[in-house]
């Protein structure tokens, strides 16, 4: 595997080629590295590699001539090398892309300086743009070194054979478990115990806890095996969705004037939010209204659908509806519901910028990150009518940021808002 770095600062890059794992691989001839300096391809007497931008503006732009000549020299002739520009506009680098790059014979890594390069260079001489992350850098060189480091260690022979297999376990999508070496003081006893099955179970559990609490983005893409689920349950960890209850609140809510009212139950809300709650694996779906006849109606609707399922000849559809409706419970007040759950964290939702003054807003992601670490149940309140009344403030401990559409119209049905919210909280991120 060959790496060619096109840079006007070879002295920044070259020391890296002499140290550590990469340095040893270069020494052993397992990989080869070189730098190509666009300044060596200038023809003017000042050897200039930059010029002022057309259209004005601050800073300088890398001139196309010397840069194109340097890339051409680095890439050689057919079969040409894969030419990568390190750029904040590139695709974020992932281990999956690193694995693919490690199969290529020759990478040319082009590093920008100043305010960037002339666009025509990108059009004519770049195959792919890659970013190493969202922060301002003074040049692409450190990005090129990141790629070399990540790719080189996957080239056969660069790491010992036993360590190369480690990449698979490392890239299973979980963070590493905590590691210890001597002295023995403060080391978890299980690691010194010599029970290998117990050690493996402990390490797997630690990896999952760390990933869930520190990297919700990785955790939401992780699919635990049955054995993993058992380990999590043993550690007393239940997924947040299985501890989450959704409540559709009919009182106290507001009317269009802001007065506190009791709204009427509707069939669609009962039915559709039950199916959404079931889809996202919630523990319960609750209807809150002080009107006894309305609670009876809701209980009746749920029972009716369940009975219908028992009789139906379109079994699958009716069954799935009935299963969802088993989540439905009715309550006379939020206080009564809260009392039934075990010390829940009560989360209010609001479509209004000025709703629930004095309680800090949290995004769904922030809420999930915080509550994943907890074992308490979560109760999410959805308001009907013109929204939850602020007299609820004493019982509410969290408020979610409103769902933000585009434009001034902001009138989602409670069924739609509930479904969007559940996906933001618990939808699997397949990114």
| Residues in touch with ligand 4FN (CB under 6 A) | 86-88, 112-113, 115-116, 131-140, 143
C-alpha 326, offset from chain centre: 32
Q: Which of 260, 227, 249, 242 is nearest to 330 (CA)?
A: 249
Q: Closer CB to ligand 4FN, residue 136 or residue 223? A: 136
- Distance (Å, rounded) from C-alpha 194 to C-alpha 186? 17
Cβ of residue 146: shortest distance to ligand 4FN, in angstroms?
8
Q: Closer CB to ligand 4FN, residue 132 or residue 322? A: 132
**Pair 166, 179: CB distance under 8 Å:** no
Cβ of residue 129: shortest distance to ligand 4FN, in angstroms?
8
Cβ of residue 82: shortest distance to ligand 4FN, in angstroms?
16
Cβ of residue 143: shortest distance to ligand 4FN, in angstroms?
3
Cβ of residue 10: shortest distance to ligand 4FN, in angstroms?
16
Cβ of residue 128: shortest distance to ligand 4FN, in angstroms?
12
Q: Closer CB to ligand 4FN, residue 119 or residue 307? A: 119
Long-range pairs for 291-294: beta carbons < 8 A, 24 or more residues apart: 291/250, 291/251, 291/262, 292/332, 294/250, 294/264, 294/265
Q: Is 170 helix (H, G, I), strand (E, B) or coil?
A: helix
Whether the CA torsion 84, 89, 90, 95 is positive or negative: it is positive
Q: Which of 81, 6, 77 is nearest to 39 (CA)?
A: 6
Cβ of residue 86: shortest distance to ligand 4FN, in angstroms?
4
Question: CB-hemisphere CA count at 13 Å for 367?
Answer: 28
Q: Strand 61-62 to strand 50-51: parallel, antiparallel, or no bridges (unpaired)?
A: antiparallel
Task: Please name the residues in contact with 315: beta carbons below 8 A apart, sequence gap of 6 or more.
Answer: 309
| H or E stretch at 384 | none
Residue 197 neighbours by CB distance under 10 Å: 7
Q: Closer CB to ligand 4FN, residue 144 or residue 396? A: 144
Task: Please name the residues in contact with 426: beta carbons below 8 A apart, sequence gap of 6 or more.
Answer: 240, 241, 244, 280, 281, 368
Q: Closer CB to ligand 4FN, residue 38 or residue 140? A: 140
Q: Closer CB to ligand 4FN, residue 107 or residue 389? A: 107
Q: How far is CA 112 from CA 39, 56, 88, 366, in A?
A: 13, 19, 10, 36
Q: Closer CB to ligand 4FN, residue 130 or residue 248? A: 130
Q: Closer CB to ligand 4FN, residue 66 or residue 116? A: 116
Cβ of residue 272: shortest distance to ligand 4FN, in angstroms?
40
């Amino acid at each position: 595997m060959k790496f060619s770095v096109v840079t006007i600062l070879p002295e920044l890059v070259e020391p890296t080629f002499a140290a550590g794992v990469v340095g040893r691989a270069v020494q052993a001839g397992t990989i080869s590295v070189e730098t190509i300096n666009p300044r060596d391809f200038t023809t003017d007497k000042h050897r200039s590699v930059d010029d002022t931008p057309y259209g004005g503006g601050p800073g300088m732009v890398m001139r196309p001539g010397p840069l194109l000549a340097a890339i051409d020299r680095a890439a050689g002739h057919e079969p040409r090398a894969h030419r990568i520009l390190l750029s904040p506009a590139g695709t974020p680098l992932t281990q999956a892309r690193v694995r693919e790059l490690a199969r290529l014979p020759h990478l040319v890594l082009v590093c920008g300086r100043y305010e960037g390069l002339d666009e025509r260079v990108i059009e004519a001489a770049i195959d792919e743009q890659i970013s190493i992350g969202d922060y301002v850098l003074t040049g692409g060189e450190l990005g090129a070194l990141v790629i070399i480091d990540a790719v080189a260690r996957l080239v056969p022979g660069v790491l010992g054979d036993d360590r190369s297999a480690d990449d698979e376990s490392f890239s299973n999508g979980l963070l590493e478990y905590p590691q210890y070496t001597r002295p023995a003081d403060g080391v978890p006893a299980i690691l010194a115990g010599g029970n290998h099955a117990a050690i493996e179970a402990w390490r797997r559990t630690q990896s999952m806890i760390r990933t869930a609490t520190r990297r919700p983005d990785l955790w939401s893409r992780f699919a635990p095996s049955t054995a993993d689920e058992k380990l999590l349950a043993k550690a007393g960890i239940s997924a947040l969705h299985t501890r989450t209850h959704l409540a559709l609140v009919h009182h106290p809510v507001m009317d269009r004037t802001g007065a506190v009212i009791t709204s009427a139950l509707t069939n669609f809300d009962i039915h559709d939010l039950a199916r959404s709650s079931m889809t996202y694996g919630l523990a319960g779906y609750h209807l809150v209204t002080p009107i006894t006849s309305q609670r009876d109606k809701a209980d009746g609707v749920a029972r009716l659908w369940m009975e219908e399922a028992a009789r139906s000849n379109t079994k699958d559809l009716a069954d799935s509806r009935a299963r969802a409706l088993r989540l439905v419970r009715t309550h006379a007040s939020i206080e009564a519901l809260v009392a039934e759950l075990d010390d829940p964290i009560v989360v209010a939702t609001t479509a209004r910028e000025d709703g629930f003054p004095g309680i800090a807003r949290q995004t769904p992601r922030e809420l999930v990150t915080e509550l994943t670490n907890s074992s308490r149940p979560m109760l999410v309140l959805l308001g009907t009518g013109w929204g939850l009344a602020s007299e609820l403030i004493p019982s509410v401990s969290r408020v979610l940021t409103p769902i933000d559409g585009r434009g001034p119209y902001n009138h989602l049905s409670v069924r739609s808002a509930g479904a969007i919210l559940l996906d933001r909280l618990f939808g699997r991120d397949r990114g």
